[in-house]
């Protein structure tokens, strides 16, 4: 599998939990912006990772997801898990 990208992550966030906070551009440089500032809580992230598990077979622990406070950290976890699964 190729690397899971920020574009793919933001698309899943929008699908599962709606748009970001008003005034936040998910298409901008949000890699290091905390999810809470983007308007996504841990429940939204768990929904997204559930979809990723169903679509890609990548499973992350709930604790790991909660610890991933930014898109960059979550993408790193997803891509590391993808590499291990391959």
Number of domains in the chain: 1
- One digit per residue, pLDDT tens: the chain, 86 residues? 589 999 999 999 999 888 877 777 888 889 999 999 999 999 999 999 999 999 999 999 989 888 999 999 999 999 999 766 55
Range of the domain at 45: 6-85
Neighbours of 21 (CB within 10 A): 11
The verdict on pTM exceeding 0.85 is yes
CB 19 within 8 A of CB 25: no
CATH number for the domain including 42? 1.10.1200.10
Does 77 map to a domain?
yes
């Amino acid at each position: 599998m190729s690397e899971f990208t920020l574009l793919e992550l933001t698309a899943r966030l929008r699908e599962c939990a709606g748009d970001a906070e008003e005034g936040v551009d998910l298409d901008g440089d949000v890699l290091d912006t905390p999810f809470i500032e983007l308007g996504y809580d841990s429940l939204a992230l768990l929904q997204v990772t559930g979809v990723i598990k169903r679509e890609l077979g990548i499973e992350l622990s709930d604790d790991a997801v909660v610890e991933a406070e930014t898109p960059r950290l979550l993408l790193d976890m997803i891509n590391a898990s993808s590499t291990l699964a391959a």
